[in-house]
Chains A and B, each alone.
Chain A
Amino acid sequence: MAYYTYSAPTSGTSDAQAKLGYVPTPTTYTPPTSLTVPTVPTTSTTTLVQPVSGEVRPTSALVYGYPSTNQPMPIVAAPRTFGIDTTGLPTFYPPYTWDGSGGGGGGSTYWQDRDDARAGAQAQLDYLNRLIRANRAQYGSLVGNLGSAFNASRTAAQNQYAAALAALQGRRTEATTLAGQGQQALADYLASNVPSAFAQLPQATGPTLEPDVVSQYAQAIGTPTAPIGEAAVRAATEYAGGSDAYNRLLSNLQASEANTQASRLAELEMLKNVQNAQIQQLYGGGATTLEQQRLAALNALAQEQAQQRYVIDQQRIAREQAIQQALAQVYGTGYVPFNPATFFSTSGAF
């Protein structure tokens, strides 16, 4: 008999609830709300115990005698055979044996005693049946309470997981934002501080020819100045190579400066990728740990619930077996009809 079933979340639940898993919906055993105690028939010399179905009673004292009230005789119950072939076997009327007395006015108390015994057995039977019902009702109540308690624990565990996951997601967002601010600050700095140390250096120009005093003197006295000019040009040409060399050096330095800037920009892109990946990796690890903890908690709760349920079942079965043994003894007296269907019923519908 299943007292506890699990059902998937019904439609309309949120995505977060669906991710949190299902909440078991217990199907509890509903005990009878009222246990009516059957009225124990009182033994009376004037009121007959109702005959048991199938019971045949003599109507007079022709054979067995009758009470002084001259009531119809109680019927002797047909002996129970329980499916056993009793042909040829002596008839047995437990527990009392007819002593054969009777006749005449007084008569024996056999049937009265038998009715009393049957009434007592019926009362005992009813009591034991009530005990079984009560046992099952208590069991159902216990199982229901157990289910409710563990449901609450599961819900608490799920809620803790959801809260921890939400906090982790919040920290991930904060970390991403913070890292982004750092990256953007670097990008802004590189954009506004392009290296220009060599770029701003002027190129070297060729040597200039300036009239010197000797040329002026020579010009003044009429001496040809061509040799002076040629010498000046020759000297200037020799040193023009130095300017070219300087300009080539400057170009290399400027190109190196530009390459360095490009390298820094590439480094920034790498930094962005690495930092974002690192944040995602840490978040993934944290989320996995939370999930493992959630599953471990749910598993521990399930195991504990099963263990406690087992203990309750054990106790219920032991108690019910004891009651059924007592019932068997009552049935064994033969004073109450034995109904295997109700004796072995597990539904509690006695």
Chain B
Amino acid sequence: MAYDPSLFEAERRGLAQQYEAQSAMNEYARFLAQQRGTRQLGEFQEGVTKQIPRFGRTYGRRGLYGQGINSGIFNRAVGEFGAEAATAMQQLRQQLAEQQREYELSGANYLANYQAALADLEARKAREIGSTAAGLLSL
């Protein structure tokens, strides 16, 4: 068949539309994930912040916390509580970062597939031009 550039243009447009749709969905999902992760992190921090006064009151009622009181039990409890909170916070941050990286990787995959498809299309175009050119010698 003779070389028809309009067919290639239609195919290119289809690939672009597909990539743009995939990329947009991926980006939206990434945004939602980031929003969710940030909210979780914020809610956790808020919960921890709310727990601190209660923590102090709890140990204060038992006489382990107060002005002038330096309780080892209280200090260990604070340390453990802080360590758990820090570990949980780190987990949340890491999960959020990994989720973001996952969506970035998906976006890069879509882009790579799109670029590969375009390059294949250009190669097919060059092949068809050459085939049409060779057909001139059959006239």
Question: Which of A16-24, A69-77, A125-133, A215-223 is found at the contact surface with chain B?
Answer: A215-223
Give A275's nearest chain B residue, CB to CB: B130
- B117 to chain A minimum Cβ distance, whole angstroms, is 11
Is B119 at the interface (CB under 8 A from chain A)?
Answer: yes
- Per-residue A-contact encoding for B75-106, CB less than 8 Å = 1, 0 else: 11011111111110111011001100100110
- Min CB distance A221 to B, Å, is 8
A76 to B83, CA, bound (A): 167
Contact present for B112 and A228 (CB under 8 Å): no
Tell me the smallest distance from the CB of B45 to a CB of chain A, in Å.
6
Complex Cα distance, B56 from A235, in Å, reads 25
A279-B132 in contact (CB<8A): no
Q: Which of A168-210 contact B (CB under 8 A)?
A: 168, 171-172, 174-179, 181-183, 185-186, 189-190, 193, 195-198, 200-202, 204, 207-208, 210
The verdict on A242 contacting B105 (CB below 8 Å), with A172-B137, A230-B83, A282-B137 known, is: no
| From A185, A186, A221, A242, contact of B98 by CB (8 A) | A242
CA A83 – CA B69 in complex, angstroms? Answer: 175
A197 & B111 in contact (Cβ 8 Å cutoff): yes
Contacts of B81 in A (CB 8 A): 214
Determine whether B136 belongs to the interface, using a CB cutoff of 8 Å to chain A.
yes
Residue A267 CB within 8 A of the other chain: yes
CA of A275 to CA of B123 in the docked complex: distance in angstroms?
13
Q: What is the count of residue pairs linking A and B with beta-carbon distances less than 8 angstroms?
A: 176
Contact partner, B89, options A201, A212, A282, Cβ 8 Å? A212
Q: B76 — nearest CB in chain A belongs to which residue?
A: A227
Q: Does B16 contact A (CB under 8 A)?
A: no
- Distance in Å: Cβ of B97 to nearest Cβ of chain A: 7
Asked whether any CB of chain B lies closer than 8 Å to the CB of A286, the reply is: yes
- Considering only CB atoms and an 8 Å cut-off, how many residues of chain A contact the other chain? 68
Q: Max chain A CB contacts within 10 Å: which of B83, B118, B127, B133?
A: B133
Contact A190 B119 (CB under 8 A): yes
Residue A213 contacts which of B52, B112, B119, B133 (CB distance < 8 angstroms)?
B52
Taking a contact as CB atoms under 8 Å apart, the answer to whether B94 and A279 are in contact is: no
Q: Closest CB of chain A to B4's CB: distance in Å?
A: 13
Cβ contact within 8 Å between B108 and A179: no
B137-A228 in contact (CB<8A)? no
The answer, among B84, B86, B129, B137, for a CB contact under 8 Å with A286, is: B137
Residue of A190, A210, A232 touching B87 (CB-CB under 8 A): A232
* Shortest distance from the beta carbon of B86 to any chain A beta carbon, whole Å: 4
- Complex alpha-carbon distance, A131 and B61, angstroms: 160
> B133, A279: Cβ atoms under 8 Å?
yes
B residues with CB within 8 A of A: 45, 48-49, 52, 56, 70, 74-76, 78-87, 89-91, 93-94, 97-98, 101, 104-105, 108-109, 111-112, 115-116, 118-119, 122-123, 125-130, 132-134, 136-139
Q: Which residues of A contact B (CB under 8 A)?
A: 168, 171-172, 174-179, 181-183, 185-186, 189-190, 193, 195-198, 200-202, 204, 207-208, 210, 212-215, 217-218, 221-232, 234-236, 239, 242, 246, 249-250, 253, 257, 260, 264, 267-268, 271, 274-275, 278-279, 282-283, 286
Which 5 pairs, one residue from A and one from B, show the smallest C-beta to C-beta distance? Answer: A182-B129, A231-B83, A227-B79, A228-B82, A214-B82
